[in-house]
C-alpha cells in the first residue's frame, strides 16, 4: 500500500513545527496534524528560551561555555537520569540548534545576558526579545507556511497504525469520521501528560495536587500509544513545576523577582523555605505549605523584571501591588504586617552576613530588600511532565528490548527529557524547548535520510 506522505508529524508545537521544517528541507514530503484548534501547545505558553552552549552569540558576547559544562550544570541539579547519553546529545547539538533557528531560518531571537536563570552557570538562554514563546511559535509557523507544508488543526489522532512490527502512519479523527494517513515515518511531537490527572498521579504523585497551568492538549497520548506498540519509557517521574503563578490572573510572576532577591511568604506572613531552589523545584514546597503564597520584592528588582513584557502586563492588570512600607505591602494582601516585617528583617540580616539564613539560602541576588515594596499573590502550578518515550541519539523510539521501533520517532513532550529521573529539581530553564526543537530537527533530518536510503 502506497504512502500518503513521506513523514507524518503528530503535534504542532515547537517540536512538530521544527520537525516538519527539517524534514522538508532534507527533501522529503511532510504533513502535520494537530488535535487542538490552533498550533503552539506548551511552546506558546513558555518564555521561548532555548539554551545553547558555545553558540556564536555567546562567543560574540565574550561568554565561555561548552557542552561539557552544560552537562555538568544539568547533572549538578538533576543528580540522576535514566539517560545520560540523551543529556550529552542535546548539549552537543544545542548551539547548532539555536544557530539553525536564528541564522538559517531567521527566528527573531537573541542571547539573554541580563540573567542566567536556574540551572545555568553562565548565560546561555536564547529567546525572543518579548520573552514570549508565542513569538517563537509564530516564527516557526511562518517558516512552515513559506514551505507550503500542510498543517491540519482540529484533527486528533486515534491510534498509530502498527502492522508487522512497524509504525505505518496514524488513524485520524476528523469531522467526517476516522481516516488513515499512511506514512513512511511518523514523528510524535505531542505534549506530555501533565493535563491528565490519572497519569500524573500514577507517575508524578508528589505534584498531583497542584493546579495544571499548561496547554490543554497535554493529555498523554504518546504514553498510551507507546504502551500499545511496546515502547520503553524514561524519566517518568520528572516534571516542571512553577512556584509562582499569579492568582487569580493565571500568568507567571517572573522568577526574576525571586532570583534577584525577592522572597515568598505564606498566609502567616512567614517564609517557609529556600527560594533559590528555583521555580520548578520550589513548586512542591509552595504546594505543601498552603493554597497561596505571597512574593515580596523591592524597587531595584521590579526595575529588572520590568524589562519583560509579560511581567508588565501583570502589573497593568493589578497582579503586582506597590506599597511604601513592608507593613503596607502585607496589608494589601491581608497578611499580618508584624510577621511579614519581622521576616523581611531576618532575611536582610542574613543578606548582610549578620546571621545564617534559617532555610539555607545563600544566593541573595541584589542584596537587602528596601522600601518601596511590591507584593503579588501566587499559587504553585504544574506545567509539563519531563518523562516519556525512551529514544536513541537520533530520536528513534526504542522498544523495551532496546531496539528502535521501525519508522517511529519522538521529541518534545512525547519523549524522555533531560531534567533528571524524578521530581522537579532537575529542571533547568529552557530544557523543554531545547528537547522540543533539537529532537524535532534531528527526527526530521534522520527520517528523511532513512527514506532516501530505502
DSSP calls for 240-257? EEEEEEETTT-SBPPTHH
Angstrom distances, CA of residue 326 to CA of 244, 297, 336: 20, 9, 11
Q: What is the pLDDT along the chain (454 residues), one digit of tens a residue?
A: 689 999 999 999 999 999 999 999 999 999 999 999 999 999 998 989 999 999 999 999 999 999 999 999 999 999 999 999 999 999 999 999 999 999 999 999 999 998 777 789 999 999 998 888 999 999 999 999 999 999 999 999 999 999 999 999 999 988 788 999 999 999 999 999 999 999 999 999 989 888 898 888 999 999 999 999 999 999 999 999 999 999 999 888 999 999 999 999 999 999 999 999 888 889 999 999 999 999 999 999 999 999 888 899 999 999 999 999 999 999 999 999 999 999 999 999 999 999 999 999 999 999 999 999 999 999 999 999 999 999 999 999 999 999 999 999 999 999 999 999 999 999 999 999 999 999 999 999 999 999 999 8
**What is the Cα–Cα distance from 438 to 396, expressed in whole angstroms?**
13
- pLDDT in the model for residue 311: 93
- pLDDT in the model for residue 250: 87
Select from 350, 362, 309, 302 the least CA-distant residue to 329.
302
Helix (H, G, I), strand (E, B) or coil at 332: helix
**What is the Cα–Cα distance from 355 to 109, expressed in whole angstroms?**
42
Are 136 and 48 in contact, with CB atoms under 8 Å apart?
A: yes
**What is the Cα–Cα distance from 17 to 444, expressed in whole angstroms?**
10
**What is the Cα–Cα distance from 375 to 301, expressed in whole angstroms?**
12
DSSP 323: E
Residue ranges of the chain assigned to CATH 3.90.700.10 = 240-382
- pLDDT in the model for residue 1: 65
DSSP 231: B
The residue written with cell numbers 518523562 in the block is: 387
The residue written with cell numbers 513545576 in the block is: 241
CATH 3.90.700.10 fits 240-382, yes or no: yes
Are 440 and 105 in contact, with CB atoms under 8 Å apart?
A: no
Q: What is the pTM of this model?
A: 0.87
Helix (H, G, I), strand (E, B) or coil at 433: helix
Are 246 and 437 in contact, with CB atoms under 8 Å apart?
A: no
CATH 3.50.50.60 fits 5-194+387-453, yes or no: yes
Task: Tell me the β-bridge partners of 322.
Answer: 374
Select from 28, 419, 29 the least CA-distant residue to 239.
419
Residue ranges of the chain assigned to CATH 3.50.50.60 = 5-194+387-453
The x, y and z cell numbers of residue 195, run together, are 493535563
- pLDDT in the model for residue 94: 98
91 φψ region: left (φ > 0), alpha (ψ -120 to 50), beta (else): alpha
Amino acid at each position: 500500500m502506497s504512502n500518503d506522505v513521506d513523514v507524518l508529524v503528530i503535534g504542532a508545537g515547537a517540536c512538530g513545527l521544527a520537525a516538519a521544517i527539517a524534514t522538508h528541507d532534507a527533501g522529503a514530503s511532510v504533513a502535520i496534524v494537530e488535535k487542538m484548534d490552533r498550533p503552539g501547545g506548551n511552546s506558546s505558553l513558555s518564555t521561548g528560551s532555548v539554551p545553547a552552549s558555545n553558540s556564536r552569540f555567546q562567543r560574540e558576547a565574550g561568554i565561555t561555555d561548552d557542552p561539557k559544562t552544560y552537562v555538568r550544570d544539568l547533572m549538578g541539579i538533576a543528580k540522576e537520569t535514566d539517560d545520560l547519553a540523551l543529556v550529552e546529545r542535546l548539549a552537543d547539538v544545542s548551539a547548532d540548534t539555536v544557530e539553525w533557528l536564528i541564522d538559517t531560518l531567521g527566528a527573531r531571537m537573541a542571547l539573554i545576558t541580563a540573567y542566567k536563570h536556574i540551572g545555568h552557570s553562565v548565560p546561555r538562554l536564547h529567546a525572543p526579545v518579548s520573552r514570549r514563546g508565542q513569538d517563537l511559535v509564530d516564527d516557526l509557523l511562518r517558516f512552515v507556511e513559506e514551505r507550503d507544508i500542510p498543517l491540519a488543526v482540529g484533527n486528533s489522532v486515534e491510534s498509530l497504525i502498527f502492522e508487522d512490527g512497524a509504525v505505518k502512519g496514524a488513524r485520524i479523527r476528523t469531522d467526517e469520521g476516522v481516516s488513515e494517513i499512511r506514512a513512511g515515518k511518523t514523528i510524535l511531537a505531542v505534549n506530555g501528560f501533565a493535563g491528565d490527572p490519572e497519569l500524573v498521579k500514577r507517575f508524578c504523585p508528589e505534584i498531583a495536587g497542584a493546579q495544571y497551568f499548561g496547554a490543554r492538549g497535554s493529555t498523554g497520548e504518546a504514553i498510551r500509544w507507546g504502551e500499545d506498540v511496546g515502547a520503553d519509557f524514561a524519566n517518568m517521574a520528572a516534571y516542571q513545576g512553577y512556584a509562582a503563578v499569579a492568582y487569580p490572573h493565571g500568568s507567571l510572576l517572573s522568577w526574576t523577582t525571586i532570583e534577584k532577591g525577592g522572597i515568598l511568604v505564606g498566609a502567616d506572613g512567614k517564609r517557609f523555605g529556600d527560594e533559590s531552589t528555583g521555580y520548578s523545584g520550589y513548586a512542591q514546597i509552595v504546594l505543601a505549605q498552603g493554597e497561596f503564597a505571597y512574593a515580596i520584592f523591592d524597587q531595584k528588582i521590579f526595575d529588572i523584571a520590568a524589562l519583560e513584557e509579560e511581567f508588565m502586563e501583570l502589573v497593568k492588570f493589578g497582579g503586582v501591588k506597590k506599597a511604601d512600607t513592608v507593613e503596607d505591602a502585607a496589608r494589601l494582601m491581608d497578611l499580618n504586617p508584624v510577621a511579614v516585617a519581622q521576616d523581611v528583617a531576618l532575611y536582610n540580616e542574613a543578606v548582610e552576613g549578620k546571621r545564617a539564613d534559617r532555610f539555607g539560602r545563600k544566593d541573595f541576588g541584589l542584596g537587602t530588600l528596601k522600601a518601596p515594596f511590591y507584593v503579588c499573590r501566587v499559587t504553585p502550578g504544574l506545567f509539563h511532565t519531563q518523562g516519556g518515550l525512551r529514544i536513541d541519539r537520533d530520536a528513534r523510539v526504542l522498544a523495551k528490548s532496546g531496539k528502535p521501533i521501525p519508522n517511529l520517532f519522538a521529541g518534545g513532550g512525547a519523549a524522555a527529557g533531560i531534567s533528571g529521573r524524578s521530581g522537579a529539581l532537575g529542571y533547568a530553564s529552557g530544557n523543554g524547548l531545547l528537547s522540543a526543537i533539537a529532537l524535532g530537527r534531528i527526527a526530521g533530518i534522520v527520517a528523511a535520510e532513512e527514506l532516501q536510503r530505502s
